[in-house]
Structure 1
Amino acid sequence: MNIFAAEASLETLLMDYPAFAQAKKQIMHNLQLYQETGVVRHLLVTGESGAGKTTMAEMLEADHPMVITPEATYRPVLLVNLSGHTTIKSIAADILDKLGVQKRNESIGHSTTQIVRLIGHCQIQLVLLDEVQHVLEKGADRTHYQIADWLKSLIDGCRIPFVLFGMPNTVSLLSINEQLRRRFLQIHRLEITEYGGYSKERVGLELFKSMLDHQQLTLLVDSWADLARRLAFASDMRISYLKTLAVKALLVTHQEARQTIDYGVLERAFTMLWPSGTNALNPFSDSFCWRELKQTEELFAPAAMAPKTRRRGKA
C-alpha cells in the first residue's frame, strides 16, 4: 500500500470506541422498541468534529437499505444531512430532497404535511438528522426557537423515532424549547470516557494503538502509562486529534522508511500537527512542561465565549 492509500485508510478508519458503540446500541434499541411495541423514543448524539457522528449515521442507513417494489418504495431509515444557513424552509427542503420530491410548495405548513405523509407512505421507521448544529449558527434567538418548535411539531406528526446528530453545542437547542427538550431526554456524547475499569487516558491510548495496528506500525515505549499521559496532553482527549497525530506519525515513518514509532517520531509528528509545538510545548519532548496546552494561542486554547442563548417560554 502506498503512502496516499495508507493515509486515506487511516483517515477513514472506523473507530468503534466505547461511547460510539454505546450510542449505536441505544439507537438500535430505540428502533427495535418502536418496531416491536410502537413506543417512540428520541435521541441526541453529540461529539466534536471527527468523533464519528456522520460515520454512525451512514452506517445505520447502509444497514437498513431502501427496498423498491412495483407497488412502492420502502426505506426503513432516512438520513438527512442539513445544509448550512439552516431555516425551517431549508430543513424541510433537505428532507423532501432526500425523499425524492423535486417540486415543492413554498408553504411551510404544506411542506410539513407532505413530509409526514411521505414518511408514512415509505414506511420509514427511523429519521436521522445530521449536522443539526447548523440551526444555531445563523439567526437570532427567536429564529432558533421557531426552528425548535417546528422540529417538535414535525417529530410529533411523524410518530417515529428521531436521532439528532451535532456538535456539542447542539444540546443548547433543547434548552430553547422545553417541549423539544422533553422529547430528547436521551443524550449520548461521543467522547473518550472511562470504560471497563480503564481510565480515560488508557482508553485513549488503546484507541491510538488500534490506529497504528491498522497500519502494522509498532510502538516502542518503556511505559504505557507514560505514553497514555503524553497522548492526553497531545490530544486534549479529542478523538480527531488522536487520529490526526496517528496520520502524522504514519507520514514520519514513511519519510524515514521505518515501521516503528518511538517518542522521537511522535515528537516530530506533533510538530507537524502544530508547528508551534516544540520543546516545552511538545508532549513527547524530554523538556515538556507537563500542563494542558490551553493558554492563549496554544493548540487547545478555549474559543471566545459565545453569547448565552436566552431561554424563552414554553411552546
Structure 2
Amino acid sequence: MNTSSDAINIDEVLAELSNCTVLHPGFQEAMRITNKCIITTRDRKDPSSAMLIGPTGVGKTRLCQIIEKQLGPIHTVQRADCEKTIRPCVYVELPASATIKSLSMVMAQTLGARPNDYQSVTALETLIIARLITMEVKLVILDDFHHVAQKGLSKTKDSLCNWIIKLLNKSGIPFLLSGTTASETTINMAEELSDRFPYRARLEPLPMIEKSSASAFLGVVARLQQEMIRLGCLRSYIHLTDHNHYTSIYLATQGNFRRLSDLLHDSFRIALLRGDHSLTIDDFADAADDLAFCCRPNYFRMTPRQLNSALKVPTIKLKKK
C-alpha cells in the first residue's frame, strides 16, 4: 500500500480522483442523443442508432461507461415459464487489432456464450442476434470503433457495414458507435447503414472561454479541484481557477480531458507524497516536466506576462486519429 507521511492511502485517493467525471454540457447533450435513440427505437420498433464522434482524449470512453452504468446492471428475473438473465447494455471496447471475426467472438463472449475459433462469422452472427433478443438488450456500445473502421481495403469495410446492418435488422436493437471521424466516414459509405444512424453527437476539446456566460472547461477544473481538496484533506492550496493558474492548465492541455487527467494525477501525487496537506504551483510545474504534451514549454514556470503572450500564439490542433 502506497501511503503518505500522514497515512493517506495515495493509490486509493488517486483512483477515486480518476473515477470522478464532470458532466459538462457536451457530455449531457451526448447522453440526451443516446437516450433518444433508445426511446425512438422502442417507439418505432425499428433500430435508430447513434454515433459518438470526436478526437482522442475528449472523454468518449468515459461517457460510454457512464451510459452503460445508467442503463443498469445484469440481473435475473423470474418469468412465468423460466428464470431469465437480462442485460440492458452490451459494452465492447475494440482493440487496435480487431477484425470482424474477433469482434464477433468478443461480442458473443460478452453475451455469455462460449464461441470457438472454428465457428464461422455467420454462425457467430446468429448466436449474437439470438442472445441480444433473449437478454432484452436495450443498447449495444462499440467503443473505439475506428480501430476497425480505419483499417483494411474497401472490401473489408463493406463487410463491416454489412455485418452491422445484419445485426441491426435481425435484432432490432440500436447501436452506439464511438470513435474518431474515421468511424463516421465508414458508416456513411453505405446509404442503408448511414440511415440507421440518424443520431450523432460530437465531442471536441473544450475551449478556454465559451460564448455562454460560463466556461465549461473552467467548471470542470473547479469541480475536480474540489475533489482534490476533499480527498487529500488539503489545508493550503492554490486556486486552479485563478486566471494565471487556469491559463497554464488550459495551455498545457488544450481542453483535452485525457491530458487534464494526466496532469492532475501527477501533480496531486507529488503533493500527497509531500504529506503536508498542501497543493502548490510547483507541484504542477514538476509534473509538467515529465509530461511530453506540456513540458516544452512548461507553462507553470512562466510569468503572467509570458502566459498572456502564449495565449495569443495559435496552437496546433490535436491530431484526430
Q: Which of 230, 255, 266 matches 1:237?
A: 255
Distance 1:80 1:248, change over 3 A: closer
**Identical-residue share of aligned pairs (%):** 21
Question: Retained in 1: the 8 A contact 2:252–2:293?
Answer: no
The structure, 1 or 2, with the larger RCO (C-alpha pairs under 8 Å, 6+ apart) is: 2
Q: For residues 1-315 of structure 1, what are the structure 2 equivalents within 5 Å?
A: 1-63=8-70, 64-68=72-76, 69=78, 70-103=82-115, 106-136=119-149, 138-193=151-206, 197-198=212-213, 202-216=215-229, 217=234, 220=238, 224-274=242-292, 277=295, 281-284=297-300, 285-286=302-303, 287=306, 290=310, 291-292=313-314, 294=316, 302=319
Superposition TM-score, scaled by structure 1 size:
0.79
Kindly provide the amino acid, as one letter, of the partner of residue 119 in structure 1: L
Question: Which amino acid counterpart does residue 66 of structure 1 have in structure 2?
Answer: I
CA distance in 2, matches of 1:16, 1:185: 24
Deviation at residue 147 of structure 1 after TM alignment: 0.9
Give the superposition deviation at 1:301: 7.3
Q: 1:107-134 CA distances to partner (integer Å, 9 max, x unpaired)?
A: 3333223322222222222211222122
Change (3 A) 1:259 1:50: farther
| Range 213-222 or range 281-290, more displaced | 213-222
Q: Distance in 2 between matches of 1:114 and 1:266?
A: 51
**Counterpart secondary structure, 2:83:** coil
Structure 1 portions without partners, runs of 5+: 295-299, 307-315
TM-score, normalization: structure 2? 0.78
The C-alpha deviation readout for 1:7-59, integer Å capped at 9, x for no partner, is: 22222222322212221222223223333453532111134445433333333
Equivalent pairs, count: 295
**1:253-283: CA deviations, max 9, x gaps?**
23444545454443333223239725xx122
* Alpha-carbon distance between aligned partners in 1 of 2:100 and 2:137, rounded to the nearest angstrom: 21
What is the one-letter code of the residue matched to 1:27?
T
